Structure 1
Amino acid sequence: MNRIIRQENLAALRKLPSASVPLIYIDPPFNTGVRQKRTRIRAVRDVTGDRTGFGGHRYRTEILKTAPTYIDIFDDYLGFLRPRLLEAHRLLTPTGSLFFHIDPREVHYCKVLLDEIFTTPGVSGRDCFQNEIIWAYDYGARPTKRWPAKHDNILWYTKDPKLYTFNLEGTDRIPYMAPGLVGATKAARGKTPTDVWWHTIVSPTGKEKTGYPTQKPLGILERIIRVHSNPGDTVLDFFAGSGTAGVAAARNGREYILIDQNPEAVKLMRKRLKVVSPLKVVSP
């Protein structure tokens, strides 16, 4: 049964059986040093409104309920991650994969930590590292004193450096950058992605937007799940937030376990997931 577990994630992870999860995706706090929050708004047509929209029409901004928030500040960030990543390694099946989503400020420290955790007798953690995927997007502010930071890093590690799930035929295809160089047939089919994934953020005004801070696009999670798991497999996300990993799993015939201690996040996940799959919510 698909599950949402409302509990502190380390305690919840320790209750799960070893070698039971083929795919783990996590998008932990990035240690940004600030409170992560998003305020949800609605634009209503009003000739005296405070903003101008398409066609020059005026709109009035109405503030809706504030989305869930969390403090993204850690005195010892790696100390916070280490026991949780140790549990993740324990939970992976022999052919399982971990996808660790982080930003450029912390990625190099986290990679060294993961190299250590994935090192076991006879297996080098550095060999278990398969890819660093760059998720590139183009939205938001543009500072004038440095190049704008418009990408995240996703580290892919496998329990076994040689035996793992990789169904490339399951991926979506993307347009060629120079379609005239490859011919009409290839251009129409598109190509498989590389380790740089150009994908827009969740649109601030689109149907996918939940208002949850740091929500990641469904397209990113679906690509990971289709290629790195098989139908019927279980996907685990223990920093579940808005539940995008669960939605992606359910839409592609996978099971899911989502863990989060924030009651507002659990409420949001239940709302999103009840329309795509049966589920139960477990509290400690």
Structure 2
Amino acid sequence: MTSPHWRPDGPNLVVHADNAGFLPTLPDESFTMIYVDPPFNTGRVQRRQQTTMVRSESGDRVGFGGNSYATVKGALHSYDDAFTDYWAFLEPRLLEAWRLLAADGTLYVHLDYREVHYAKVMLDAIFGRDCFLNEIIWAYDYGARAKSRWPAKHDNILVYVKDPKKYHFDSAEVDREPYMAPGLVTAEKRELGKLPTDVWWHTIVSPTGKEKTGYPTQKPEGLLRRAVAASSRPGDWVLDFFAGSGTLGAVAFGLGRKFICVDANPQAIEIMAERLGVTATVVSHPAAG
């Protein structure tokens, strides 16, 4: 059943819903960009799942080495029992993301070092390895310092495209950075700045800044602004179905994009209603948590 709330010429939406129930109500290929920052701790009871990895010439996904597999779950469960549940939680939602991306669309999946390697294998299986565009490293320098190992001060953002021959990417729209060695380039280049690489140095949301909403996993607007600017156009629809504090919506509105932000957490909806309420319609779907 198609959602009664969304239509291509309709308003921006903040949707209180379980994304597993809401995403199937959206039409195919509706979004030029999807960004998600999924949780790892799903709260589900761990279980061992014996699944055989079956190579299939007619499989619908391309995985390791360009070969086609019906599933890769069996190989992974032996490495990390907890991932069995993470796969069951995340895979159907990422399959929906693939369906919802337009032919020129791009998916950004924001993770950290604990699960990024598992999710990379999952996304290779869903999208195909030839659709992997980048692994962006978001580096920051804030918080406690470990003394018994190298302090972890980065997140990973996996970037996949729907079609490696058609995806939209406009580097001219991306904010530029100062050169790290400005004395080695011309004055003209210094003034213009350089295009970012796949390592993005950006501070976290300031605990005392005006951007702070109080939501514990809030991401800085500058981080998402770069992704939205590069991978969508003014007027395009963008989607975040683990929306949290609604940073994607705030950035999308500022850049002239249309957005849907989905979350099952009432606290997130309350924060987004305050942050985005003037720019979006807040609705509740029957699948709300």
Q: Give TM class, smaller chain.
A: 0.7 to 0.9
**Are 1:31 and 1:74, in contact at CA under 8 Å, matched by a contact in 2?**
no
1:159 aligns to what? 162
Query: Paired residue for 1:106?
Result: 115
Taking the TM superposition and a 5 Å limit, the aligned residue runs for 1:166-245 are 166-245=169-248
- 1:87 maps to which residue? 96
Superposition deviation, residue 280 in structure 1: 3.5
1:28 is matched with which residue?
A: 38
SS of alignment partner, residue 142 of structure 1: coil
Whether contact under 8 Å (2:14, 2:280) holds in the other structure is no
- Alpha-carbon distance change, 266 to 32 in structure 1, aligned in 2, over 3 angstroms: closer
Once the two structures are aligned, what percentage of the paired residues are identical? 63
CA RMSD of aligned residues (A): 1.5
Deviation readout 1:160-179 (Å, 9 max, x if unpaired)? 01210101000001000000
Q: Deviations over 1:170-217 (max 9, x none)?
A: 000100000000021111111110000000000011111111011100
Cα deviation 1:78-100 (Å, max 9, x = unaligned): 21100000111111111111000
What whole-Å deviation, never above 9, does each CA across 1:108-142 have from its counterpart, x for those lacking one?
A: 11000000011xxxxxx100000000000000000
State TM-score, norm by structure 1: 0.81
Taking structure 1 as reference, are residues 278 and 237 closer, same or farther at Cα in structure 2, changes over 3 Å only?
A: closer
- Report the CA distance between 1:255 and its aligned residue: 0.5
Q: Distance in 2 between matches of 1:15 and 1:172?
A: 35
CA contact 2:22–2:285 (8 Å) conserved in 1:
no
1:28-73 deviation digits (Å, cap 9, x = unpaired)? 013398xxxxxxxxxxxxxxxxxxxxxxxxxxxxxxxxxxxxxxx9
Q: 1:253 aligns with which of 253, 256, 269?
A: 256
Q: What residue in structure 2 maps to residue 48 of structure 1?
A: none
Matches within 5 A, 1:55-94: 76-94=85-103
- What corresponds to 1:283 in structure 2? 285
Local SS of the residue matching 2:261: strand
Please, which of 15, 18, 24 is the counterpart of residue 14 of structure 1? 24
Query: Does 2:105 align with 1:96?
Result: yes
Structure 1 runs (4+) greater than 4 angstroms displaced: none
Aligned pairs, number: 238
Report the Cα offset of residue 74 of structure 1: 7.9
Residue number in structure 1 paired with 2:145: 142
Take 2:13 and 2:205, find their aligned partners in 1: how far apart are those partners? Answer: 25
- Asked whether the 8 Å contact 2:176–2:195 carries over to 1, the reply is yes
Structure 2: give runs of 5+ residues left out of the alignment: 1-10, 44-81
CA drift of 1:22 comes to: 1.0
Partners of 1:202 and 1:208 within 8 A in 2: yes
Asked if the contact 1:137/1:199 (under 8 Å) is kept, the reply is yes
Match of 1:267 in 2: 270
Asked if 2 retains the 8 angstrom alpha-carbon contact of 1:3 and 1:282, the reply is no
Secondary structure of the 1:203 match is coil
TM-score of the two chains, using structure 2 as the length reference: 0.80
Partner amino acid, structure 2, of 1:4: V
Higher strand share: 1
Mapped partners of 1:228, 1:175: distance in 2: 22
- Stretches of structure 1 that go unaligned for 5 or more consecutive residues are 34-72, 119-124
Kindly indicate whether the alpha-carbon contact (under 8 Å) linking 2:16 and 2:262 is maintained by their aligned counterparts in 1: yes
